[in-house]
Chains A and B, each alone.
Chain A
Amino acid sequence: MDRQALQERLLRIVGPDGIIDDPDELLVYEYDASDEVFAGHHRPDITVLPRTADQVQEIVKLANEFGVPVTPRGAGTGLAGAALAVRGGILVVMTRMNRVLEINERDGYAIVEPGVINLELSQLTQPRGYFFAPDPSSQRACTIGGNVANNSGGPHCLKYGVTSNHILGLEVVLPNGERIWTGGPAPESPGIDLTGVLVGSEGTLGIVTKVMVRLTRLPEAVNVLLAAFADLESASQATSAIIASGILPAALEMMDHLTIKAVEAAFHAGYPEDAGAVLLIELDGLAEIVAESADRVVELCRGCGATEVRVARTPRERELLWLGRKSAFGAMGRLAPNYYLVDTTVPRTKLPPTMRTVEELSREYRLRIANVFHAGDGNLHPLVLFDRFVPGEIERVLRCTTDILQYCVDVGGTLSGEHGIGLEKRDYMTLIFTTEDLCAMAGLKRSFDPRELFNPDKVFPSGFSCGEVNAIRQQAMAKRLGIEFV
């Protein structure tokens, strides 16, 4: 590659303040929110910060001409290393494309650029009575483009569905440099659903330059309850009881003792620190029905042994309770310098035995595991805490997480992929997909990106990733399956 020439041409596209090529400054683009132990450091050759879709298109065409890899990036809050330039090349940071282009309340949609921060869109539309429903815990910082690419979920997805349910259309620059629109404001568009293909494709099929999102009407009433339990088991039972009663909460989140402690230290959110587990339950809808459901939920929680049930009285109390929950991953830094997040879903009825297994594995591997998860849809996030400087810990963590995942798959669960597969979880793909499944995906990928320039080495499993980590992981897997590795 003629680096000099590429630099010069890029400079002409994005201007001097839109290009970063100083190797030292590029250090700060070698990470995202994933743990560096597993994702590693990956410095791009050049970072660009485009301001318009035209610029993005020019950049992609140039990458084609020079045959260099392209990696899209939003705010870099991804937990799977998906926004890392593994093979170098050009990192395209989309955060400067952050304008809200249109808000159309009548038809219930907005058109935004991908760099708009998730929460800021909702803040903008709230006074008009609307919000953008997908609310990943990182919503204060992450971009809508990143949400689209990862098909992100959040607490409120229990009732409202994940990102894909809220994307009406996309403008996207394809790997060959063409720019197209998919979908549109109509609920159904003819032909192959390209929007559906692109949502969740983790930047491997193109760069999204505009997003048409569905806006959801704010509910008339919202009620947030906090129920404390002695242990995870009774909290899990309460979860099942609530769902079985026919009530569909807007959100139903669980946190264990360790998480409560970390979060309390961070923000004094008002969680009972001695509780073994808490449930955070949000009910929304018509005022009357919300009030009725709230009474019922209180009753059900008490029936399952809740030691305390509290109702947030003021918007501020509500906000605090949510702030605590939404900061939970970040607060892990208070418990240990590193954490590994397992992102998996099990059938709701399998929650109690899964929690027991996680606890056993925690003991077996002598690793602390914090649990915080979307209990309502059985999506759990065991956070395995460790310190990368303690000899042998990394290896134990990998064995432990593989065991957890294997157990979840065994009981009918799956890799949730809520946080993306990216670089870092791609070798788990073989746990849930057959070779044929993966070939079908690869075929689709090739038809979009025959030269494999777009976000290479992501999503698809590979035998040669991240050297050592991968080897340990394979050994762990092999041990489980009873295969000897040589």
Chain B
Amino acid sequence: MVVAEERAVLHGFKGHDVPEFDVIRSCVHCGFCLPVCPTYRVTGRERSSPRGRIWLMKSIAEGRLDLLDPLFEDEMTLCLNCRACEAVCPSGVRYGEILEASRAQLVQHRPQTAKERLFRFLGFQVLLGDMRRFRAANRLLRLYQRSGLRALARRSGILRLLGMEHADRLMPEISDRFVVADGSFYPALGERRGRVALFVGCVMGTSYAHVHEATVRVLTRNGFDVALIPGQGCCGALHVHGGDPESGRRQARRNIDALGSPYIDAVIVNAAGCGAMLKEYPHLLRDDHDYAERARAFSAKVRDAIEFLAERGLSAQPGPLPMTVTYQEPCHLAHAQRITRQPRALLEAIPELKLVEMAESALCCGSAGIYNLLRPEMASTLLDRKLNNALATGAEAIVSANPGCMLQLQAGLRARGERIPVLHLIEVLDRAYAAAPATRPAEALAAG
């Protein structure tokens, strides 16, 4: 019995951003990655496993499957890019890299609908292309949320009509004030141990301004000058993950220009997704004559705030924080950056705080950038699973370290009517410091 249909022309990978064949074939199909892949765990289908997806890529590269086969696109978007597979792969397959390239191929070669093009343009160019526009949009959102307009929209049913109900539920609460990379400088408290730049990013500055403030307080308290260097922008991760590496490269160059200062010891990031992206600039800009070398130097200085504090050690002792917490690992911290010990070490450094591990702490919560908007069904299955695991610990707070995860968890908890808070790990540390005998409070850094 022969099943293969002969096709006249198969579309293969071509043009820019082709998934590297040597990376594809470094997969020895051992299957070690299957049990850690969220989409495989949920569906049980090989096509939705890392090994299956890599095989599909390979089949395209070998001319046995069409790039435009709907199956392929479906799998490339169902994949969360959580990179759990990469972290366990003994063969060192750089999965994230070939996934992102595959997505770029789809965007390049697949005819896009007008709606998609508009969505991409508005999202990637208008909104994320410049942080001033991003903040302006966020101010409008804040108005929508605070003015009673949202309550009205929700009551009226117009959201459902527009198909926006889901998006509305996931929308972050916009902070009262924004943190802006405006050149502010916060000197170290006590003995100075170094000077760092804070990467401000997008939603972290508008919806999690308080986390940025906490980060500045914790860093200065531990002897680091913190600079909010102007000129930086979005990290580019959403572009790269969404199949638009070219726009990602634009963001990368601008961040390197802004933050590549030799007077900075480290670029500190408190959003795991951005941190992972910043660390991958050398790959993103590998073919860029002017930037390839600079990207390497830049990325070598990038540190997640948690990683940095664990690496340099806490010079100030946190105060007691009598509470029970559980830790949800952001994929791009645990898998993409392989930072798993440090968050636990920092939590354990806080007196009286108790960490209860949840089951499957490293399984994706389903947020995955804008995944929860694109694949709501899988996202909510994973969110449910995550919340069940988290709540089963009986913790008083869920600690995480990435805005995407925090938004997702918060939305899920709200929907369930649960009151337990979701905190950024640095926030927890900041609270512990607030409970310690103070040296001098860092000035507020509100703007916007």
A residues bordering B, Cβ < 8 Å?
1, 3, 20, 22-29, 31-33, 35, 43, 45, 49, 75-77, 88-89, 93, 95-96, 117, 120, 138, 140-142, 263, 265-267, 327-334, 337-339
Contacts A28-B55, A332-B28; A117 near B65 (Cβ below 8 A): no
Beyond known contacts A77-B31, A333-B90: 7 more, CB 8 A cutoff: A27-B55, A27-B56, A32-B29, A76-B46, A138-B31, A141-B33, A265-B92
Shortest CB distance A414–B (Å):
25
Contacts A28-B46, A75-B34; A330 near B28 (Cβ below 8 A): yes
Contact yes or no, A20 B45, CB < 8 A: yes
Contact yes or no, A23 B4, CB < 8 A: yes
Contact yes or no, B35 A117, CB < 8 A: yes
Contacts A330-B30, A331-B90, A333-B27; A1 near B1 (Cβ below 8 A): yes
Specify which chain B residues have a CB less than 8 angstroms from the CB of A49 in the assembled complex. 44-45
Specify which chain A residues have a CB less than 8 angstroms from the CB of B29 in the assembled complex. 31-33, 76
B169 interface contact, C-beta 8 A: no
List the 5 closest A-B pairs by CB distance, nearest first.
Answer: A333-B91, A330-B90, A327-B90, A28-B52, A331-B90
Contact yes or no, A339 B35, CB < 8 A: no
Residue of B at shortest CB range from A79? B30
Name the interface residues of B1-50: CB closer than 8 Å to any CB of A: 1, 3-5, 22, 25-35, 44-47, 49
Specify which chain B residues have a CB less than 8 angstroms from the CB of A337 in the assembled complex. 22, 25-26
Contact yes or no, B71 A332, CB < 8 A: no
Contact yes or no, A333 B92, CB < 8 A: yes
Shortest CB distance A185–B (Å):
29
Specify which chain B residues have a CB less than 8 angstroms from the CB of A3 in the assembled complex. 1
B109 interface contact, C-beta 8 A: no
Specify which chain A residues have a CB less than 8 angstroms from the CB of B89 in the assembled complex. 330
Among the listed B45, B69, B88, which residue makes an inter-chain contact with A24, where contact means beta carbons less than 8 Å apart?
A: B69
Contact yes or no, A33 B28, CB < 8 A: yes
Q: How far is the CA of A412 from the CA of B28 in the complex (A)?
A: 32
Contacts A76-B46, A333-B26, A333-B28; A31 near B3 (Cβ below 8 A): no
Shortest CB distance A258–B (Å):
14
Contact yes or no, A77 B44, CB < 8 A: no
Among the listed A25, A28, A33, A45, which residue makes an inter-chain contact with B1, where contact means beta carbons less than 8 Å apart?
A: A45
Max count, chain A CB within 10 A of own CB: residue among B5, B22, B29, B65? B29
Specify which chain A residues have a CB less than 8 angstroms from the CB of B93 in the assembled complex. 333
Contact yes or no, A28 B47, CB < 8 A: yes
Shortest CB distance A467–B (Å):
17
Contact yes or no, B71 A25, CB < 8 A: yes
Specify which chain A residues have a CB less than 8 angstroms from the CB of B431 in the assembled complex. none
Q: How far is the CA of A117 from the CA of B26 in the complex (A)?
A: 25
Please tell me the number of chain B residues within 8 Å of chain A, measured between CB atoms.
36
Specify which chain B residues have a CB less than 8 angstroms from the CB of A29 in the assembled complex. 46
Contact yes or no, B30 A33, CB < 8 A: yes
Among the listed A26, A33, A328, which residue makes an inter-chain contact with B3, where contact means beta carbons less than 8 Å apart?
A: A26
Shortest CB distance A1–B (Å):
6
Q: How far is the CA of A332 from the CA of B88 in the complex (A)?
A: 14
Name the interface residues of B152-192: CB closer than 8 Å to any CB of A: none
Specify which chain A residues have a CB less than 8 angstroms from the CB of B112 in the assembled complex. none
B296 interface contact, C-beta 8 A: no
Q: How far is the CA of A142 from the CA of B32 in the complex (A)?
A: 8
List 26 A-B residue pairs with CB atoms under 8 Å apart, sorted by A's residue number. A24-B71, A27-B56, A28-B49, A28-B52, A29-B46, A31-B55, A43-B4, A49-B44, A49-B45, A76-B31, A77-B30, A77-B32, A96-B44, A117-B35, A138-B31, A140-B35, A140-B88, A141-B30, A141-B31, A327-B90, A330-B30, A331-B91, A332-B91, A333-B26, A334-B91, A338-B28
Contacts A265-B92, A330-B90; A138 near B3 (Cβ below 8 A): no
Q: How far is the CA of A362 from the CA of B22 in the complex (A)?
A: 24
Specify which chain A residues have a CB less than 8 angstroms from the CB of B44 in the assembled complex. 49, 95-96
Shortest CB distance A340–B (Å):
11
Q: How far is the CA of A43 from the CA of B59 in the complex (A)?
A: 13
Q: How far is the CA of A448 from the CA of B93 in the complex (A)?
A: 42
Q: How far is the CA of A331 from the CA of B88 in the complex (A)?
A: 11
Name the interface residues of B63-100: CB closer than 8 Å to any CB of A: 64-65, 69, 71, 88-93
Specify which chain B residues have a CB less than 8 angstroms from the CB of A265 in the assembled complex. 92
Contacts A332-B91, A333-B92; A141 near B32 (Cβ below 8 A): yes
Specify which chain B residues have a CB less than 8 angstroms from the CB of A331 in the assembled complex. 90-92
Specify which chain B residues have a CB less than 8 angstroms from the CB of A25 in the assembled complex. 45, 47, 71
Shortest CB distance A469–B (Å):
18
Contacts A330-B91, A331-B90; A138 near B30 (Cβ below 8 A): yes
Contact yes or no, B59 A27, CB < 8 A: yes
Specify which chain B residues have a CB less than 8 angstroms from the CB of A88 in the assembled complex. 1, 3
Max count, chain A CB within 10 A of own CB: residue among B46, B65, B89? B46
Shortest CB distance B209–A (Å):
38
Q: How far is the CA of A24 from the CA of B34 in the complex (A)?
A: 20
Contact yes or no, A45 B91, CB < 8 A: no
Q: How far is the CA of A141 from the CA of B27 in the complex (A)?
A: 15
Contact yes or no, B56 A28, CB < 8 A: yes
Residue of A at shortest CB range from B1? A88
Shortest CB distance B326–A (Å):
19
Shortest CB distance B2–A (Å):
8
Q: How far is the CA of A20 from the CA of B46 in the complex (A)?
A: 10
Q: How far is the CA of A49 from the CA of B59 in the complex (A)?
A: 23
Among the listed B4, B31, B71, which residue makes an inter-chain contact with A75, where contact means beta carbons less than 8 Å apart?
A: B31
Specify which chain B residues have a CB less than 8 angstroms from the CB of A96 in the assembled complex. 44
Specify which chain A residues have a CB less than 8 angstroms from the CB of B33 in the assembled complex. 141
Q: How far is the CA of A300 from the CA of B34 in the complex (A)?
A: 41
Q: How far is the CA of A120 from the CA of B71 in the complex (A)?
A: 31
Among the listed A26, A28, A327, A332, which residue makes an inter-chain contact with B32, where contact means beta carbons less than 8 Å apart?
A: A327
Contact yes or no, B31 A33, CB < 8 A: yes
Contact yes or no, A266 B47, CB < 8 A: no
Specify which chain A residues have a CB less than 8 angstroms from the CB of B56 in the assembled complex. 27-28
Shortest CB distance A165–B (Å):
25
Residue of A at shortest CB range from B34? A141
Residue of B at shortest CB range from A332? B28
Contact yes or no, A27 B22, CB < 8 A: no
Shortest CB distance A249–B (Å):
24
Contact yes or no, A329 B30, CB < 8 A: yes
Name the interface residues of B91-141: CB closer than 8 Å to any CB of A: 91-93
Specify which chain A residues have a CB less than 8 angstroms from the CB of B90 in the assembled complex. 263, 266-267, 327-331, 333
Shortest CB distance B63–A (Å):
12
Contact yes or no, B31 A43, CB < 8 A: no
Specify which chain B residues have a CB less than 8 angstroms from the CB of A23 in the assembled complex. 3-5
Q: How far is the CA of A33 from the CA of B49 in the complex (A)?
A: 14
* Per-residue contact bits, chain B 224-253, to A (CB 8 Å; 1 contact, 0 not): 000000000000000000000000000000
Specify which chain A residues have a CB less than 8 angstroms from the CB of B30 in the assembled complex. 33, 77, 138, 141, 329-330
Contact yes or no, A334 B92, CB < 8 A: yes
Residue of B at shortest CB range from A77? B31
Q: How far is the CA of A88 from the CA of B3 in the complex (A)?
A: 9
Q: How far is the CA of A33 from the CA of B52 in the complex (A)?
A: 12
Among the listed A1, A24, A333, which residue makes an inter-chain contact with B65, where contact means beta carbons less than 8 Å apart?
A: A24
Q: How far is the CA of A29 from the CA of B56 in the complex (A)?
A: 11
Specify which chain B residues have a CB less than 8 angstroms from the CB of A332 in the assembled complex. 28, 91
Specify which chain A residues have a CB less than 8 angstroms from the CB of B65 in the assembled complex. 24, 27
Residue of B at shortest CB range from A47? B46
Q: How far is the CA of A413 from the CA of B35 in the complex (A)?
A: 36
Contacts A28-B46, A28-B47; A266 near B92 (Cβ below 8 A): yes
Q: How far is the CA of A267 from the CA of B91 in the complex (A)?
A: 10
Contact yes or no, B26 A140, CB < 8 A: no
Q: How far is the CA of A1 from the CA of B1 in the complex (A)?
A: 8
Q: How far is the CA of A289 from the CA of B136 in the complex (A)?
A: 71
